[in-house]
Amino acid sequence: MLICLDAGHGGKDPGACGAYSKEKDIALTAVLMLGSLLDELGFDIMYTRTTDTYVNLIERAKLANNAKANLFISIHCNSAADKTACGTEVLCYDVCDEANSIQTFLTSETGLKNRGIKIRKDLAVLNCTSMTAVLAELAFISNPAEEALLNNAAWLERNMTAIAKAVCKCFGIPYLIKDTVPAVTETVISINGEDKKVRRILKDGENYIRLRDLESIINISYNAADKKVSVSPK
Ligand SMILES: [Zn+2]
């Protein structure tokens, strides 16, 4: 079962901006947490982006279509001019079990206002994807209390666990997971005195930094012939 995970926005498109955080960063952190969870549950995972890059909406749908993904899940934060607007909603092209289930699990986990399922025929990631596609608006980044939640890793993990449970329910797969969700945080690597931020994944008591994340800050190459990894500053 292949799940395509889509972190909303990215690169030149920050998405909605709160007082101190951007939707694109929260969406990416959340999607990587969800991917780790679903991977542990035995799902095959693909991402439309795993770094802070811009991928246009049609391209995101095409990636999922070409890979014949079984389900597409897009993660976003909501925003409104009215700073009191709050709650969780799930967008979909047509009402489906996946949307209902994700909305139910999310709101029962967090207790945020249930804004329900919204039918959206106009969104490319929903109308250009050939598989069931849902877009979760976790909370309002424009609402100060909800922006604080969105920036709380433990809260985000609870949300992603809720989505993983919903996905399991839809595919009739038991939710069995050995470990807690890996904590994803940032760490700083100093290269020639210049500090660069990189994602750090804590799993089974060990810290991991992924090669693809390191590639964004240093030149790194692997020579299969002599099994040598070469590293140099960018
Ligand atoms: Zn968005």
Distances (CA, A) of 218 to 29, 192, 198: 21, 11, 11
* Residue in 8, 5, 102 with CA at minimum distance from that of residue 45: 5
Non-local CB neighbours of 146 within 8 Å, separated by 6+ positions: 86, 112, 139, 140
Per the CB < 8 A criterion, the answer to whether 72 and 123 are in contact is no
At 194, which amino acid appears? E
How many domains does one find in the chain?
A: 2
Q: Alpha-carbon distance 136 to 74, whole Å? A: 6
Q: How far is the CA of 102 from the centre of ligand 1 (A)?
A: 17
Give distance in angstroms: CA of 9 to centre of ligand 1: 6
Same structural domain for residues 10 and 68? yes
**What spacing in Å lies between the alpha carbon of 230 and ligand 1's midpoint?**
38
What angle, rounded to 10 degrees, do the helices at 23-40 and 153-171 form?
50
Q: Is 62 contained in some domain?
A: yes
Residues 38 and 104 in one domain: yes
Closest of 19, 10, 11, 14 to residue 141, by C-alpha: 19
Residues 204 and 126 in one domain: no
- Torsion angles phi and psi, residue 48, rounded to 5: -80, -25
Would you call 153 exposed, middle or buried from its count of C-beta atoms within 10 A (0-12, 13-18, 19+)?
A: middle
In the prediction, which pLDDT does 194 show?
A: 84
Domain with 207, as residue range(s), is: 183-233
Q: Which of 146, 171, 196 is the last residue of a domain?
A: 171
Which H or E run includes 159?
A: helix 153-171
On whether both 17 and 115 belong to a single domain, the answer is yes
In a domain, 176, yes or no: no
Query: Within this chain, do residues 91 and 203 fall inside the same structural domain, yes or no?
Result: no
Q: Within this chain, do residues 154 and 107 fall inside the same structural domain, yes or no?
A: yes
Predicted confidence at residue 223, as pLDDT, reads: 80
User: Which pLDDT tens digits describe the chain residue by residue (234 residues)?
Assistant: 999 999 999 999 999 999 999 999 999 999 999 999 999 888 999 999 999 999 999 999 999 999 999 999 999 999 999 999 999 999 999 999 999 999 999 999 989 999 999 999 999 999 999 999 999 999 999 999 999 999 999 999 999 999 999 999 999 988 876 555 556 777 888 888 888 888 887 766 567 888 778 887 888 877 878 888 888 877
9 and 67 housed in the same domain: yes
| 72 domain-assigned | yes
42 and 102 belong to one structural domain = yes
Q: Is residue 177 part of a domain?
A: no
- Residue 68 has a pLDDT of 97
230: left (phi over 0), alpha (psi -120 to 50) or beta: beta
Q: What pLDDT, on the 0 to 100 scale, is given for residue 234?
A: 75
Q: Which helix (H) or strand (E) is 107 found in, with range? A: helix 97-110
In the reported structure, the alpha carbon of residue 48 is separated from the centroid of ligand 1 by a whole-number distance in angstroms of 14
Query: Does any domain span residue 94?
Result: yes
Cα(22) to ligand 1 centroid in Å equals 10
For tokens 């490319």, the residue is: 124
User: Model's pTM, two decimal places?
Assistant: 0.77
CA 130 to chain centroid: 20
Q: Are residues 118 and 201 in the same domain?
A: no
Task: State the distance from the centre of ligand 1 to the C-alpha of 6, rounded, in angstroms.
Answer: 11
Same domain membership, residue 228 and residue 132: no
The answer to whether 52 and 24 are in contact (CB under 8 A) is: yes
> pLDDT tens digit string along 181-194?
556 777 888 888 88
- Single out the residue in 171, 205, 224 at which a domain terminates: 171
Both 49 and 149 in one domain: the answer is yes
Residue 228 and residue 118 in one domain: no
Q: What is the CATH number for 130?
A: 3.40.630.40
The residue type of 41 is L
Those residues whose C-beta lies under 8 Å from the C-beta of residue 233, and which sit 6 or more positions away, are: 191, 192, 218, 219
Q: For residue 178, is it within any domain? A: no
